[in-house]
């Protein structure tokens, strides 16, 4: 590891991550009598770069579009190292077909997996904790079939296993101080957050920050009261390596489950950033809104999770 | 006793092929049918595709008793039950082979009998007529529209007992140690145990852990059938099974007959092989009763003289007289016809509770109970575990019929699996667009529990999950005083669009409050006028 290129803060993050992962292993090994609560120290708060980079592109060939969008970010190499364990977290929560724009488009997920594999990932895991019956959701969204067609044993699209949730203490949480997270998600070397941009009655829009709901356990319905701060609290634990937002089709109304094709708008747009808050801020503009109209974006910015002022974001159109 | 001369035969059915005993063919058939039964049982679940690929309920459709009682009670021709005619046709040719070669309950009883000590008391042949009595009761009662076949049919007893009790309990018992090992041991251990678990999960275990109410009752009934083996070998088949009785009646006319029909003197004098007959099919005068013989072929192998065989030749001796008397037949019909009067009084007295909702596509209640054979296939296949057995909530004759419980699970918008597995069409298989408009119930908000009403907190979980393209839950922004902060706040208050709601129950399932849900499924006709006209929670078509 080239220490000259790694800032002191990033080093703290890495060492905290190692400590965190060894605690996860200890808990899973039953070396602690009762399910323990272990600390996560998000020293990386306020470490968001002052001018995050956001890359945005348009096109109908989704695989080519994805590769193009990665170019300004330096390709896939800065994010996926050789031998890395990668998690791609798309939205697969609803029993809806791709054209209904309730789930991330399967061809995009397939292209993302392909890119990670080409970078030398040892394992690419794709999953989502669905809102409806998982067999129906996985079958309808089209992603497992698309992944299957890659014919690569390194990439899996499996159902969420209820045994794999581990409790995590949310040290900086204002609304919630502890919640269950999916073990595979929090112990990934590279976590790629891949939501689809949708309308949401309570949150107004569901984008990158809210996509974390798919890797948490417990009764998610109970998070809906005071949803904004709770989503942000969860995001202090799970810091995606990259957020890439599927805006090829967006859901304008009746989200997040949708259902009517009339509510879908085809934009054929894709954008990505290492800064999830910046990605969310940009996404709001696609719905004709301003970044500060979304409570989650504002709250996340207030906690130092990222940059929401689009004037300070370096937007590169490919 | 006469010793019959071997006579020239037209066609000898003798399964002996070199040294393979005849009974091995029968055993192979039994094991094959049992395997098919268990495999179909395991396959009776969703794979995400929306259809059940295999004839999961074929055993019910082969059963002539289910066919007869469903057709009689439902007063309709049920096309799906045509395989039962195949069973009847084969029985008219071969005799009661179904009970000896096919029936999985019979096979399981045979397997269990190896572990059960042989009873020392001689079997009481007077029990044998009870099955005909029960048959008469089931059919007569069905004619008067009181369906009790589900309590006495062997497949209903077996499948229901397995689906609601044995399978879920077995799953819990098997997965618990693997979960413990996974969560409490280092990765080195779970790297070894997880592949085993994955194999079990892929081929032997159900996809999900289900739970069913009153499962112990169905379990006790199933175990009871096995416990009867302590009294007599194949007690159930010999003495109680009304399906066996019906098949037996047809078997009396079968073309295939055992020759000789009477046990010869050597047999009686020496070891009395007739007593070893697992069906007790030889009567007290040593004559074989075709309605009892299930063609197990044990006696073919046991006879040291190698005398018996099954042939299509016309028998020389008259068959043993039919056991049940005319009086018994009349008694069973009278009892069968009296049953509906008893339950009818209960019918009239009971009014279905407002929240007793039936599966989507279910026929109107009377017709539904006529056709439902309490097989529990629908309950097993429901992906959300929403269908639960009732005990007596639907009346004395409604026990074990399925009810939809919205707090436990919901009806997936794009799913028709319960209708696909229902053998009699009690749950009608509607084309998906029709099923998506079928009104199971209506959702009703409880203002005392719903957060926006009671606590001035917006929630919206219910609307989020409503699967309809035009949502049946909408919101009014209402300005209220917060009960705690005393500030004026704007709260999103939900209401139901009556004309759109199909009562799928997902809102009731997902409502995040503890305990009873703040929005509940009520049968459409049972929603009180006061609720219907409450504009805060309900939008009626007239109000548009």
CA distances from B418 to A133, B212, B489 (A): 15, 16, 45
Distance CA B348, CA A154 (A): 64
3-state DSSP percent of chain A in helix, strand and coil, to 5: 40, 20, 40
Contact A66, A103 (CB under 8 A): no
Q: Does the pLDDT value for residue A70 go beyond 60?
A: yes
Is pLDDT at A5 greater than 50 in this prediction? no
Residue A214 makes CB contacts below 8 A (sequence gap 6+) with A89, A91, A92, A93, A128, A129
Mean pLDDT of B104-121: 91
Q: In what order do the strands lie in the sheet with B488-497?
A: B473-481, B488-497, B538-539
* pLDDT given for residue B347 in this prediction: 61
Query: Taking CB atoms and an 8 Å cutoff, what residues of chain B touch A260?
Result: 469-470
Q: What is the pLDDT of residue B282?
A: 86
User: Directed axis angle between helix B130-143 and helix B326-349, to 10°?
Assistant: 40
Q: How many CB atoms lie within 10 A of CB A214?
A: 22
Question: Is residue B303's pLDDT more than 90?
Answer: no
| Per-residue DSSP letter, B98 | I
Tell me the domains of chain B and their CATH numbers: 21-44+55-146+224-311 (no CATH), 158-220 (no CATH), 439-544 (3.30.70)
Outline where B5-152 has alpha helix (H).
Answer: 22-43, 58-62, 64-74, 83-94, 97, 104-113, 130-143, 149-152
pLDDT in tens, B441-471: 999 999 999 999 999 998 889 999 999 999 9
Q: Please report the pLDDT score of residue B254 as a whole number.
A: 92
CB contacts < 8 Å between A and B, how many? 90
**Residue B74 pLDDT > 50:** yes
| Separation of alpha carbons A222 and B373, rounded Å | 40
In this prediction, residue B346 has a pLDDT band, given cuts at 50, 70 and 90, of: low
Nearest residue, CB atoms, B471 vs list A224, A226, A254: A254
B4 vs B162, more confident? B162
Please answer yes or no on whether B460 and A254 come within 8 Å at the CB atom: no
Mean pLDDT of B231-240: 94
Asked if A254 is an interface residue toward chain B (Cβ–Cβ < 8 A), one would say yes
Query: Any residues with CB less than 8 A from the CB of B298 and at least 6 apart, and which?
Result: B23, B276, B277, B278
Which pLDDT value is given to residue A134?
Answer: 96
Check residue B429 and report its DSSP letter: -
Q: Which residues contact B542 (CB under 8 A, 6 or more apart)?
A: none
- The sign one gets for the Cα dihedral A294, A297, A303, A308 is negative
- Report the residue from A133, A140, A222 with minimal CB separation from B384: A133
The pLDDT, as a whole number, for residue B5 is: 42
- B55 or B416: whose pLDDT is higher? B416
B459 vs A221: CA distance, rounded Å:
9
pLDDT digits (tens, 9 = 90+) for A23-50: 777 777 777 655 545 555 555 555 455 6
The per-residue pLDDT of chain B, averaged, comes to 90
Please tell me the least confidently modeled range out of A310-314, B251-255, B311-315, B518-522: B311-315
Q: Which residues of A touch B518 (CB under 8 A)?
A: none
Interval B163-221: pLDDT, tens? 999 999 999 999 999 999 988 888 888 899 999 999 999 999 999 999 999 999 999 99
pLDDT digits (tens, 9 = 90+) for A279-301: 999 999 999 999 999 999 999 99
pLDDT for residue A41: 53
Kindly report, residue by residue over A209-262, the tens digit of the pLDDT: 999 999 999 999 889 888 999 999 999 988 899 999 999 999 999 989 988 999
Chain A residues closer than 8 Å to B460 by CB: 201-202, 224
Confidence check: pLDDT of B81 > 80:
yes
- The length of chain A is 318
B391: DSSP letter = S
pLDDT at B543: 63
Q: Distances from the Cα of B462 to the Cαs of A197, B298, B443, B512, in angstroms?
A: 21, 63, 10, 9
Q: Which is higher by pLDDT, A171 or B430?
A: B430
- Residues B262-276 have a mean pLDDT of 68
Per-residue pLDDT band for B544 (boundaries 50, 70, 90) equals: low
List beta partners, residue B288: B282
Cα separation, B111 vs A130, in Å, equals: 43
- Res. A267 pLDDT band, cuts 50 70 90: very high
- Is the pLDDT assigned to residue B15 strictly greater than 60? no
For B431-443, write each residue's pLDDT tens digit: 999 999 999 999 9
Give residues with Cβ within 8 angstroms of B58, minimum separation 6: B40, B83
Read off the tokens for B377: 């296939």
pLDDT of residue A269: 96
> What pLDDT score was predicted for residue A4?
34
**Percentage of chain B modeled with pLDDT above 70:** 93
User: Whole-angstrom Cα distance, residue B385 to residue B392?
Assistant: 20
User: Does the pLDDT value for residue B262 go beyond 90?
Assistant: no
pLDDT class of B348 with cuts at 50, 70, 90? low
Owner of token pair 């609304």? A175
pLDDT for the residue B266 = 67
Residue B183's pLDDT is what? 84
Average pLDDT on B138-147 reads: 92
Could you list the beta-strand ranges (E) of chain A.
Answer: 53-58, 85-90, 123-126, 155-157, 165-169, 178-182, 190-194, 196-200, 204-206, 242-251, 264-273, 314-317
Q: Cβ–Cβ of B187/A30 closer than 8 Å?
A: no
Instruction: Kindly provide the ipTM of the predicted complex, given to two decimals.
Output: 0.88
A86-139 tens-digit pLDDT: 999 999 999 999 999 999 999 999 999 999 999 999 999 999 999 999 999 999
Residue A199 contacts B where some CB pair is shorter than 8 Å: no
- For residue B267, pLDDT beyond 90: no
User: CA torsion sign, A162 to A199 to B521 to B491?
Assistant: positive
Of B458, B461, B482, B505, which to mutate for an interface test with A (greatest number of A Cβ within 10 Å)? B461
Pairing of strands A85-90, A123-126: parallel
pLDDT, residue A8, reads 46
Residue A7 clears pLDDT 70, i.e. is over it: no
Distance from CA of A210 to the nearest CA of B (A): 14
Report in angstroms the alpha-carbon separations of B307 from B1, B255, B315.
15, 19, 15
**pLDDT given at position A2:** 33
DSSP secondary structure letters along B269-301: HTT-GGGG-TT--B-TTSBB-TTT-----HHHH
Q: What pLDDT is stored for residue B198 in this prediction?
A: 94
Question: Which segments of B446-532 are extended strands (E)?
Answer: 473-481, 488-497, 519-522
Q: pLDDT value at position B18?
A: 54
The answer, yes or no, to whether residue B342 has pLDDT greater than 80, is no
Q: In terms of CA atoms, which chain A residue is nearest residue B510?
A: A221
Query: pLDDT tens digit string along A154-204?
Result: 999 999 999 899 888 888 889 998 999 999 999 999 999 999 999 998 889
Q: Is residue B120 over pLDDT 80?
A: no
Asked if A153 reaches chain B (Cβ–Cβ under 8 Å), the answer is: no
In chain A, domain spans: 3-317
- B118: burial class by Cβ within 10 Å (0-12, 13-18, 19+)? exposed
Q: Helices (DSSP H) in A215-275: which residue ranges?
A: 227-237
Domain A3-317 belongs to what architecture?
Answer: 3-Layer(aba) Sandwich (3.40)
CA angle B353, B153, B394 (to 5 degrees): 5
Note whether A225 contacts B459, CB cutoff 8 Å.
yes
Task: State how far residue B229 is from chain A, nearest Cα, in angstroms.
Answer: 41
Q: In chain B, which residues have their Cβ closer than 8 Å to the Cβ of A219?
A: 512
Determine whether the interchain pair B464/A259 forms a contact, defined as Cβ–Cβ distance below 8 Å.
Answer: no
Rounded Cα distance between B224 and B152, Å, is: 12
Confidence at A6, pLDDT banded by 50, 70, 90: very low
pLDDT band at B265 (very low <50, low <70, confident <90, very high): low
Answer whether B408's CB lies under 8 Å from B509's CB. yes
B307 confidence band (pLDDT: 50, 70, 90)? confident
Instruction: Measure the CA–CA gap between B297 and B475, rounded to whole angstroms.
Output: 72
* pLDDT value at residue A50: 66
Instruction: Quote the minimal CA–CA distance from B181 to chain A in Å.
Output: 9
Q: What contacts 24+ positions apart, CB below 8 Å, involve B124-128?
A: B124/B232, B125/B280, B125/B283, B125/B284, B127/B232, B127/B235, B127/B238, B127/B239, B128/B238, B128/B239, B128/B280, B128/B292, B128/B323
Cβ distance of B186 and A219 shorter than 8 Å: no
* pLDDT tens track for B371-383: 999 999 999 999 9
A134-156 confidence digits (pLDDT tens): 999 999 999 999 999 999 999 99
B459 chain-A contacts, CB cut-off 8 A? 202, 224-225
């Amino acid at each position: 590891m080239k220490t000259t290129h790694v800032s002191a803060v990033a080093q703290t993050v890495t060492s905290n991550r190692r400590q965190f992962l060894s605690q996860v292993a200890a808990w899973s090994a039953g070396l602690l009598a009762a399910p323990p609560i272990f600390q996560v120290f998000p020293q990386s708060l306020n470490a968001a770069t002052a001018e995050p980079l956001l890359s945005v592109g348009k096109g109908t060939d989704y695989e080519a579009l994805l590769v193009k969008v990665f170019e300004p970010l330096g390709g896939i190499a800065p994010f996926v190292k050789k031998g890395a364990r990668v998690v791609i977290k798309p939205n697969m929560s609803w029993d809806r077909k791709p054209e209904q724009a309730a789930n991330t488009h399967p061809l995009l997920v397939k292209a993302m997996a392909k890119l990670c594999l080409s970078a030398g990932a040892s394992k690419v895991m794709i999953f989502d904790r669905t809102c409806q019956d998982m067999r129906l959701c996985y079958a309808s969204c089209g992603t497992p079939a698309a992944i299957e067609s890659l014919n690569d044993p390194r990439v899996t699209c499996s159902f969420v296993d209820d045994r794999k949730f581990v409790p995590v203490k949310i040290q900086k949480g204002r609304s919630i101080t502890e919640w269950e997270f999916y073990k595979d998600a929090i112990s990934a070397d590279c976590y790629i957050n891949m939501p689809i941009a949708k309308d949401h009655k309570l949150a107004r829009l569901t984008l990158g920050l809210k996509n974390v709901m798919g890797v948490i356990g417990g009764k998610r319905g109970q998070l809906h009261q005071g949803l904004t701060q709770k989503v942000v609290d969860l995001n202090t634990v799970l810091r995606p390596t990259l957020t890439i937002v599927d805006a090829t089709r967006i859901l304008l109304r009746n989200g997040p489950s949708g259902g009517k094709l009339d509510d879908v708008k085809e934009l054929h747009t894709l954008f990505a950033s290492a800064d999830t808050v910046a990605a969310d801020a940009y996404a709001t503009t696609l719905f004709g809104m301003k970044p500060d109209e979304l409570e989650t974006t504002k709250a996340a910015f207030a906690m130092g999770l990222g940059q929401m002022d689009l004037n300070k974001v370096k937007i590169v159109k490919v | 006793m006469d010793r019959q001369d071997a006579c020239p035969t037209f066609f000898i059915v003798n399964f002996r092929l070199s040294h393979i005993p005849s009974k091995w063919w029968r055993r192979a058939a039994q094991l094959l049918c049992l395997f098919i039964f268990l495999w179909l049982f395991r396959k009776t679940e969703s794979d995400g595709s929306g259809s059940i690929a295999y004839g999961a309920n074929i055993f019910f459709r082969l059963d002539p008793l289910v066919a007869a009682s469903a057709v009689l009670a439902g007063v309709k021709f049920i096309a799906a039950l045509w395989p039962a005619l195949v069973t009847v046709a084969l029985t008219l040719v071969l005799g009661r082979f179904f009970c000896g070669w096919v029936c999985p309950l019979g096979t399981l009883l045979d397997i269990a009998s190896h572990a059960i000590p042989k009873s020392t008391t001689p079997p009481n042949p007077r029990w044998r007529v009870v099955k005909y009595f029960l048959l008469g009761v089931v059919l007569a009662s069905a004619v008067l529209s009181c369906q009790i076949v589900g309590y006495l049919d062997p497949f209903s007893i077996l499948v229901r007992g397995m689906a609601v009790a044995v399978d879920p309990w077995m799953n819990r018992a098997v997965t618990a140690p693997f979960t413990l090992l996974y969560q409490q041991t280092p990765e080195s251990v779970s790297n070894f145990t997880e592949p085993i678990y994955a194999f079990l999960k892929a081929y032997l275990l159900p996809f999900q852990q289900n739970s069913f109410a009153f499962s112990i009752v169905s379990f006790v009934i199933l175990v009871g059938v096995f416990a009867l083996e302590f009294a007599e070998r194949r007690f159930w088949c010999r003495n109680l099974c009304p399906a066996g009785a019906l098949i037996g009646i047809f078997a009396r006319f079968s073309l295939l007959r055992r020759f000789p029909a009477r046990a010869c003197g050597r047999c009686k004098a020496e070891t009395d092989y007739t007593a070893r007959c697992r069906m007790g099919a030889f009567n007290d005068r040593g004559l074989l009763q075709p309605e009892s013989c299930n063609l197990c072929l044990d006696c073919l192998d046991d006879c040291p003289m190698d005398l018996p065989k099954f042939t299509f030749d016309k028998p020389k001796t008259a068959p043993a007289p039919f056991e049940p008397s005319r009086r018994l037949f009349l008694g069973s019909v009278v009892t069968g016809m009296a049953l509906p009067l008893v339950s009818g009084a209960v019918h009239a007295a009971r009014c279905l509770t407002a929240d007793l909702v039936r599966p989507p596509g279910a026929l109107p209640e009377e017709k539904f109970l006529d056709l439902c054979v309490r097989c529990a296939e629908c309950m097993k296949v429901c992906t959300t575990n929403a269908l639960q057995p009732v005990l007596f909530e639907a009346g004395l004759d409604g026990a074990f019929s399925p009810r939809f419980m919205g707090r436990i699970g919901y009806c997936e918008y794009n799913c028709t699996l319960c209708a696909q597995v229902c053998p009699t069409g009690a749950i009608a298989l509607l084309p998906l667009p029709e099923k998506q408009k079928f009104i199971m119930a209506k959702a009703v908000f409880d203002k005392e529990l719903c957060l926006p009403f009671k606590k001035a907190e917006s929630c919206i979980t219910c609307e989020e999950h409503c699967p309809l393209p035009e949502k049946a839950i909408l919101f009014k922004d209402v300005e209220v005083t917060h009960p705690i902060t005393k500030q004026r706040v704007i709260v999103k208050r939900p209401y139901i669009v009556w004309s759109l709601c199909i009562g799928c129950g997902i809102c009731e399932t997902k409502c995040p409050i503890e305990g009873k849900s703040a929005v509940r499924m009520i049968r459409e006709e049972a929603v009180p006028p006061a609720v219907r006209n409450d504009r805060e929670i309900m939008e009626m078509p007239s109000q548009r």
